[in-house]
Chain A
Amino acid sequence: MKPGTASAACIALLRRDLLLVWRRRGDALNPLLFAIIVVALFPFALGPETTVLARIAAGTIFVAVLLAMLLSLDALFRSDLEDGSLEQLVLSPHPLSLLLGCKILVHWSTTALPLIVVAPLLAQLLQLPAQVLPVLLAALALATPLLSLIGAVCVALTVGMRRSGMLLTLLVLPLIVPALIFGAGACNAAQDGFAYAAPLLWLGAWLAMAAILAPLAAAAALRISLT
């Protein structure tokens, strides 16, 4: 049998993964609920004072979104590992990094994109000033793919482990700290009326680099874990 082209394989993989998410759309909503609950806890703990909430709003939303994504990263390869399709991906004649890139894209568009969509709601809950919202959305749009990409490398290393949740957090968080600092930093700068372009440009630069390197690294890591 002749293998199809790489782009056909990517499209098939994208369709399959999106379909799988769609069939279990209840599960896909979990990160969203988690983020909303975490954000809603802060006014309970700190009191409903508008000035306090507005001060911490951007950072809190950032942390909540990153944690919610982290929660869903664990499942990135799990079902594929269990039914054996992950090994088929590794064995396929197409570049593994390209296929993993598709999986990362699906992960980002099914967990991060909904989170970005509800971010304005979260911002309202925490009284974020209206002029900061576009900056927050831009920072999230740049930082969440970074987390998906870096997270995929770490998930590939821990794939097949029974209880990898805590370990995964330990592996991902140190690597994602710069994205958090710069993303939340841009929002805080915008809130204080300073220039905020530089941190966003840094995030964009990292994203461009990670988009190229992370799928390659994830493929190498997956080959290590599956040998």
Chain B
Amino acid sequence: MNPLLLWFHKLGSPPYFYRFAGRWLPWLYAIALVTGAIGFYGGLALAPADYQQGDSFRIMYVHVPCAWMSLFAYLFMAANGFVALVWRIKLSEILAMASAPIGAAFTFVTLVTGSLWGKPTWGTWWTWDARLTSELVLLFLYFGVIGLYHAIEDRRQAARAAAFLALVGIVNLPIVHYSVIWWNTLHQGSTVSFLGPSKISADMLWPLLTVAFATHVYFFASLFARARVALLELESGKDWVRGLLPATEAAHG
């Protein structure tokens, strides 16, 4: 078998993933911390003030990466949910459910920073603009997935039901993404584009992309930490988990 494919199949095994995630966890946290620090230094200290908004635009360095992550985490959750429902892979259930609270947190931070920025710029904390509303709906979708997951007793059945809900809710993602194009309301359009030139100065852009990279790495660090704990809980009766705790087992035995 192709070694990469073999590795991917191995990754689906809980003990293998547990060790793999444990090995990577400190590195991911370190990378996220360093790149995040560089990005924030670049964004908060080096980047020039905006010609219209002055220094208040700098909240973008938190707001925009978090907004991207709120969509990325949902997509990740739904993709893992799909894998969990179709191929019944235990690890995908764990990963999908572990990414829900992280995504909800990113969505919450997006809404809070947006409203903090909106007060001086738009003169209001909140407005029922298409993008704000769809982002709020996204937060409720996350809450629904988390709520459903915790309402069902059986962990694996709960994960499958919540994963299904996440798949149904995915219709909201394009609405969030295209809301600024479809409805021309208060929230400004996108200035960063992957295809074609971005409408943002390079001095302002590189810190943004650095922070965005840091949040992605942080997402995976947090995901691995959560998934490890969830795996231990789910597999607590298995031999490999007992093998991790020789001292306590000796005490009990």
Contacts and interface: CB of A to CB of B under 8 A. Distances in A.
Contacts of A177: 133, 137
Nearest to A213: B168
B144 A171 contact: yes
Interface residues of A, number: 20
B152 A171 contact: no
Nearest to B163: A224
A133 interface: no
A56 interface: no
B157 A170 contact: no
Contacts of B165: 154, 157, 171
A224 B161 contact: yes
B240 interface: no
Contacts of B147: 167, 170-171
Nearest to B141: A174
Contacts of A154: 165
Query: Which interface class (under 10, 10 to 19, 20 to 34, 35 or more) fits B?
Result: 20 to 34
A221 interface: yes
Contacts of A170: 140, 143-144, 147
Given A224-B161, A225-B161, A161 B151 contact: yes
A167 B147 CA distance: 7
A176 B121 CA distance: 31
Given A171-B148, A174-B169, A174-B172, A157 B161 contact: yes
A220 interface: yes
B137 A174 contact: yes
Given A157-B148, A157-B165, A170-B144, A225 B137 contact: no
B148 A158 contact: yes
A175 B157 contact: no
Contacts of A171: 144, 147-148, 165
Given A170-B140, A225-B161, A227-B157, A175 B148 contact: no
Contacts of B141: 174-175
Interface string A147-173: 000000110011001001001001101
A184 interface: no
B151 A158 contact: yes
B140 A167 contact: no
Nearest to B146: A170
Contacts of A178: 175
Contacts of B161: 157, 221, 224-225
Contact of A220 (B148, B164, B171): B164
Give the interface centre of A153, A157, A220 by most chain B CB atoms within 10 Å: A157
A179 B118 CA distance: 27
Nearest to A172: B144
Given A167-B148, A170-B144, A177-B137, A157 B157 contact: no
A174 B160 contact: no
A178 B172 CA distance: 10
Interface in B129-161: 133, 137-138, 140-141, 143-144, 147-148, 151-152, 157, 160-161
B102 to A, nearest CB: 19
A217 interface: yes
A167 B152 CA distance: 11
B137 to A, nearest CB: 5
Interface in B37-53: none
B35 to A, nearest CB: 33
Given A174-B137, A174-B141, A225-B157, A161 B152 contact: yes
Contact of A175 (B85, B152, B160, B168): B168
Given A174-B144, A177-B137, A221 B172 contact: no
Interface string A123-135: 0000000000000
Given A157-B148, A170-B143, 11 more contacts: A154-B165, A157-B161, A161-B152, A164-B151, A167-B147, A170-B140, A171-B144, A174-B138, A174-B140, A175-B168, A224-B164
Interface of B: 85, 133, 137-138, 140-141, 143-144, 147-148, 151-152, 157, 160-161, 164-165, 168-169, 171-172, 175
19 contacts: A154-B165, A157-B148, A157-B161, A157-B165, A158-B148, A158-B151, A167-B144, A167-B147, A167-B148, A173-B140, A174-B140, A174-B172, A175-B168, A175-B169, A177-B137, A221-B161, A224-B157, A224-B161, A224-B164
